[in-house]
Structure 1
Amino acid sequence: MHSPHQSLQRPKWYLLPLTGTSTTELQQKSIVLTRYIQQYPHVSLGEIAAHLGQEETGNVFRQAALINNTEELAHQLAADEIKNAAVQTPRTIFMFPGIGDHYLQMGRGLYETIPTFREIVDECDAALRPYLNQSLTELLYPPPTEPASEAAPAAGFDLAAMLGRKSSPSTDNEQEAKLQETAVAHPLVFSIEYALARLLQQWGIEPDGLIGYSLGEYVAATLAGVLTLKDALTLVARRAQLIQALPPGKMLAVPLSQDEVAPYLSEQVSLSAHNGDALTILAGEADAIQSVQQKLQNQQVACRLLDTTHAFHSHMMQGAVAELTKLAQTITYAAPQIPYLSNVTGEWMTAKQATDPTYWARHMCQPVQYFSMLRNLLGQAQNYHLIEVGPGQSLGAFAKQHPQCKPEQYALIYPTLRYSYDQQDDHWFLLTTIRKLWLSGVNLQWETVLSNGSDLDPAKLEPPLQFTSPQDNASSHQAMQQKDRGAKRRQNRLHRRGNSR
């Protein structure tokens, strides 16, 4: 199934955890680790990471270095602030975006280095072959035009690409255009998001709740146990094919509230999404949407046409309702095992809604009530770890703009996949978020975070890394013996005094 350019590679980046019962103990461990690396610079980073992961006991004082070479370790540990994870850890919410921010080579760095992610993507690929008639991974991961750099990912953004001014070879344009086809984009984004969510779960990050935007709700429903993976892939793939066969349409982002945009709605123009207090999406026939765009521009209202093929979540989806409902009625559903919010109502999904086969047709045609979904989540007077499980950071950005999002919530919103114009390494990007979560108190299954091959066997670390020397252990043992002898002497004295009375 794998072509030669997709062979599994050894990771370039490793996350090294250090914990202690006090800042003093942690600082001492940091010194010991730094000296060890300086003395044995050729020891495998993987073996060191595995050893430290085995040492990690959930102590509240934490440090973590994310490095791809031993020279960086001392600098990072010296510059890194020790975190106290004793405070109550917020609950975790996975947020699944829809299409729009996906791109060629999305998640390739994870696919090539993390076995679990690769296995799940390949499982989805195999199940989707009857619908796509081609390999999902070959579409998404053609051979790179240039070898990937192993340098530190400090280059940041590709400004030309971010502004949409970067020219690409014609082959790249053709490949990217293929990924924008609805029949390809929807199952592709679903597969990557589902694989990424399962990876996070394997690493020990379990969601307390889920939010899925548009297509993302299918991922949420699958992770919640409402749909099996097989049924979800069938629904997503056939839904995408049905939509692709519909007449094309356009979508317009408008900086107006739901009430303010109401006068522009008509039989040809639908409200497609309510994303913010003053951010809505309109969808409909191309001429009608362009007419609204012109009216708004004449009124000095800045608005933007979205790069989409169809008018999603609008009246123009009605032509696919009958076939989608017919397919949905052949599927067995279950009540959610993890709470998630409904695009259709903006409320928490009930068991009745989740098991109603007509729900997905309404979901396809009605607007995404993301603003209401955030209100029902953020209005519960607590902060959350909001993890955007998919490409980009749009859902997190909308969350930060919500009037009920407190300033202290901002730092608890995390991405997992870079933007297309971001030049950072995929694995490094994800591990950066994992590092932040762990330092904030989220406990991880380190043996799964660090497992990627035989070189990650802590027993292979040679020479051994010891945070306490044999002399320290002997001194500690002698101190315990002296303490025990002192306690026995006190008991004997008390016993003699009792007998003398």
Structure 2
Amino acid sequence: MTERTGPTGAPAVRRIALTFPGQGAQHPRMAAGLYGVSRTFTATMDLAFDTLPGGRSLRTAWLADRPPADYDDVARAQPLLYAVDCALGAMITEAGVRPDALLGHSVGELAAATLAGVLAFHDGLRYLSEYVEVYRHAPPGGMLAVAAGPGEVAAHLEPGVVIGALNAPRQLLLSAEETALTRAETALRRAGITCARVRARQPFHHPVMRDVAAAHADILTRPPLKPPHTTVHSACTGQELDDDTATDWAFWLAQPAEPVLYGPALHHLLNSGPHLLIEAGPGQSLTALARRTPQVARGDSAAVALLPARAGTPDADVAAVRAALNRIVALHGVFPAPVPDF
């Protein structure tokens, strides 16, 4: 690896940014190989299951080799993703990795805010449990990952289909109610545009979610929010999250209906200087996006995933984390190996 240097000729120090995936990244037994192995990870997940209504059932679904049919529904997917993202973030910081910035995709942004001290983990869990009850009322629908830019898909979209996320210059998510999304998928495939369904059963990041929230938001409590102690780059705004926005519940309540600007937020983060991006969540989707950026491709920044790209054997998660920690040491030298938590 070529060593990058700053303007004075000294090696450029990469700042550390943790990234957290959202809906669609979930899979059966995601990160479950760490449960009972990492003390920090295990304690965080146990707190989640003790706090969430129906936590015992959620734990059973998470650990099952064959998950229930509704595993990808908001009622299971988002609380589990939030808990796993937060548990991995707590684990990696306990290991000695101190992030300079945090960036999350969709519900991963709530995990980023939690790690930044905007809200307490138990408050985030309570909010997610109420949030699930609100969005149970959403119409059936979902999201479609498309390997194209907005201009390429525009001619194939009908009213009711919106761009729900901009993840990269030629990678976006469409969101719609089920019938419209199916028609859009058919039209895109006929046009030779690669697309695939995201594991979601509701049309998140679609304007219809505003109506759902307006009709049922009275059940949502608003726990106290604090200014972040660590910089959060918001995938909702595409910029750094300022204190006023971070502590405004109107921002968080609107998020499920707003498009995810993960690509612009990542671009903004990497343009602020060299970073070591560490994906603290299931899969490697955010790491793959990072590796396509010019900043990572030319070696100024780097990207590491804590977990395997897909579910594997029970030992695969532990092996992947250990390999990632060794890679982090090689790239940044932030702590001595082995990490005591394992």
Same fold (TM over 0.5): yes
Alignment of 1:365-444 (within 5 A): 365-380=257-272, 382-409=273-300, 412-423=302-313, 425-444=316-335
Q: Aligned AA for 1:400?
A: R
CA distance in 2, matches of 1:451, 1:217: 26
Aligned-pair identity (%): 29
Query: Secondary structure at 1:179's aligned position in 2?
Result: coil
Q: Describe the shift of the 1:324–1:118 C-alpha distance in structure 2 as closer, same or farther (beyond 3 A).
A: farther
| Cα displacement (A) at 1:176 | 4.4
Q: Aligned AA for 1:119?
A: A
CA contact 1:325–1:358 (8 Å) conserved in 2: no
Q: Which residue of 1 aligns with 2:115?
A: 223
Query: Secondary structure at 1:237's aligned position in 2?
Result: helix
Q: Which of 128, 136, 141 matches 1:244?
A: 136
Query: Secondary structure at 1:245's aligned position in 2?
Result: coil
CA distance in 1, matches of 2:334, 2:235: 31
Q: Which residue of 2 aligns with 1:200?
A: 92
CA distance in 2, matches of 1:393, 1:249: 25
Q: Which residue of 2 aligns with 1:117?
A: 41
Query: Secondary structure at 1:450's aligned position in 2?
Result: coil
| Cα displacement (A) at 1:405 | 4.0
Q: Describe the shift of the 1:305–1:192 C-alpha distance in structure 2 as closer, same or farther (beyond 3 A).
A: closer
CA distance in 2, matches of 1:88, 1:374: 19
Q: Which of 102, 108, 125 matches 1:233?
A: 125
| Cα displacement (A) at 1:109 | 2.2
Query: Secondary structure at 1:309's aligned position in 2?
Result: coil
1:450 to 2:327 alignment: no
Q: Which of 20, 24, 32 matches 1:108?
A: 32
CA contact 1:251–1:281 (8 Å) conserved in 2: yes
Q: TM-score, normalised by structure 2?
A: 0.89
Q: Describe the shift of the 1:121–1:324 C-alpha distance in structure 2 as closer, same or farther (beyond 3 A).
A: farther
Q: Which residue of 1 aligns with 2:242?
A: 350
CA distance in 2, matches of 1:366, 1:441: 35
1:94 to 2:12 alignment: no
CA contact 1:250–1:289 (8 Å) conserved in 2: yes
Q: Describe the shift of the 1:115–1:441 C-alpha distance in structure 2 as closer, same or farther (beyond 3 A).
A: same
CA contact 1:227–1:334 (8 Å) conserved in 2: yes
| Cα displacement (A) at 1:337 | 0.9
Q: Aligned AA for 2:90?
A: R
1:311 to 2:203 alignment: yes
CA distance in 2, matches of 1:176, 1:87: 50
Q: TM-score, normalised by structure 1?
A: 0.62
Q: Which of 63, 70, 80 matches 1:141?
A: 63
Q: Which residue of 1 aligns with 2:6?
A: none
Which structure: larger Rg?
1
| Cα displacement (A) at 1:451 | 5.1
Query: Secondary structure at 1:272's aligned position in 2?
Result: strand
Query: Secondary structure at 2:69's aligned position in 1?
Result: helix
Query: Secondary structure at 1:282's aligned position in 2?
Result: strand
| Cα displacement (A) at 1:407 | 2.1
Tell me the alpha carbon deviations over residues 101-152 of structure 1, each in whole angstroms, 9 at most, x when there is no partner. Answer: 3222222221121222111111111111xx226343333224xxxxxxxxxx
Q: Describe the shift of the 1:114–1:299 C-alpha distance in structure 2 as closer, same or farther (beyond 3 A).
A: closer
| Cα displacement (A) at 1:281 | 1.2
Q: Describe the shift of the 1:417–1:113 C-alpha distance in structure 2 as closer, same or farther (beyond 3 A).
A: same
Q: Aligned AA for 1:450?
A: P
CA distance in 2, matches of 1:310, 1:217: 18
CA distance in 2, matches of 1:213, 1:344: 8
CA distance in 2, matches of 1:287, 1:114: 44
Q: Aligned AA for 2:51?
A: A
| Cα displacement (A) at 1:362 | 2.0
Mind listing any 5+ residue stretches in structure 1 that lack a counterpart?
1-85, 143-171, 453-501
| Cα displacement (A) at 1:246 | 1.8
Q: Aligned AA for 1:386?
A: L
| Cα displacement (A) at 1:310 | 1.3
Q: Describe the shift of the 1:418–1:123 C-alpha distance in structure 2 as closer, same or farther (beyond 3 A).
A: same
Greater alpha carbon shift after TM alignment, 204-213 vs 86-95:
86-95
**Structure with greater helix percent:** 1
Q: Aligned AA for 1:425?
A: A
Greater alpha carbon shift after TM alignment, 236-245 vs 192-201:
236-245
CA contact 1:186–1:237 (8 Å) conserved in 2: no
Alignment of 1:61-76 (within 5 A): none
| Cα displacement (A) at 1:426 | 1.5
Q: Aligned AA for 1:138?
A: T
Q: Aligned AA for 1:322?
A: A
Query: Secondary structure at 2:214's aligned position in 1?
Result: helix
Tell me the alpha carbon deviations over residues 373-426 of structure 1, each in whole angstroms, 9 at most, x when there is no partner. Answer: 01211222x32110000111101111222345442157x211112233444621
Q: Aligned AA for 1:276?
A: A
Q: Aligned AA for 2:309?
A: Y
CA distance in 1, matches of 2:133, 2:122: 17
Q: Aligned AA for 2:104?
A: G
Query: Secondary structure at 2:17's aligned position in 1?
Result: strand
Q: Which residue of 1 aligns with 2:81?
A: 189
1:338 to 2:227 alignment: no
Q: Aligned AA for 1:252?
A: L
| Cα displacement (A) at 1:440 | 2.5
Greater alpha carbon shift after TM alignment, 395-404 vs 194-203:
395-404
| Cα displacement (A) at 1:335 | 0.9
CA contact 1:325–1:360 (8 Å) conserved in 2: no
CA contact 1:103–1:176 (8 Å) conserved in 2: no
Greater alpha carbon shift after TM alignment, 185-194 vs 325-334:
325-334
Q: Describe the shift of the 1:441–1:276 C-alpha distance in structure 2 as closer, same or farther (beyond 3 A).
A: closer
Q: Aligned AA for 1:136?
A: L
